[in-house]
């Protein structure tokens, strides 16, 4: 996931389109000899629309209401949980390897001394 998507909730293409539309409105006001006071108003409205879009995009991503520090703490907690799961799986694999070694030793011992194992009780 890109930095823009993670922090703004929007990807670069969405951001370029937003800036482009804002610039087009400003250019329209400048070309139509409109009042120059509209330029900061258009910029403010554009930033407000961007903030609303960001809020909806982050809400859809499930990270609304979290500060950057909280998001980092949540990410660290998720990573620690995954590391714990991996360590548990690794210890399970080590235990299975020990059991396999034990079974191999029993089979090797049985091949050397077939009379010790004997027939099964049935």
Walking along the chain (122 residues) 10 residues at a time, the average pLDDT comes out as 70 85 89 86 90 80 64 89 96 96 90 64 49
- Give me the pLDDT at residue 82, please: 95
pLDDT tens-place string over residues 2-34: 777 777 677 788 888 888 999 998 888 888 888
Please tell me the distance from the alpha carbon of residue 73 to that of residue 10, in angstroms, as a whole number.
22
Each residue of 105-114: b (16+ CB within 10 Å) or e? eeeeeeeeee
CA 61 to centroid of chain Cα atoms? 10
Kindly give the interhelix angle for 38-61 and 12-31, rounded to the nearest 10 degrees.
160
Cβ atoms 1, 58 nearer than 8 A = no
pLDDT at position 119 is 59
pLDDT value of residue 66: 60
pLDDT at 76: 92
The whole-model pTM stands at 0.44
How many angstroms separate the CA atoms of 95 and 102, rounded?
Answer: 11
């Amino acid at each position: 996931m890109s930095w823009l998507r993670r922090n703004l909730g929007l990807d670069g293409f969405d951001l370029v389109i937003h800036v482009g539309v804002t610039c087009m409105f400003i250019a329209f006001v400048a070309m139509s000899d409109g009042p120059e006071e509209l330029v900061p108003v258009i910029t403010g409205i554009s930033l407000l629309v961007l903030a609303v879009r960001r809020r909806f995009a982050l809400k859809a991503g499930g990270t609304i209401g979290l500060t950057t520090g909280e998001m980092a703490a949540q990410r660290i907690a998720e990573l620690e949980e995954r590391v714990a799961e991996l360590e548990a799986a690794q210890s399970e694999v080590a235990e299975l390897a020990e059991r396999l070694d034990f079974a191999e030793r029993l089979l090797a011992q049985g091949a050397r001394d077939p009379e010790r194992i004997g027939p099964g009780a049935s």
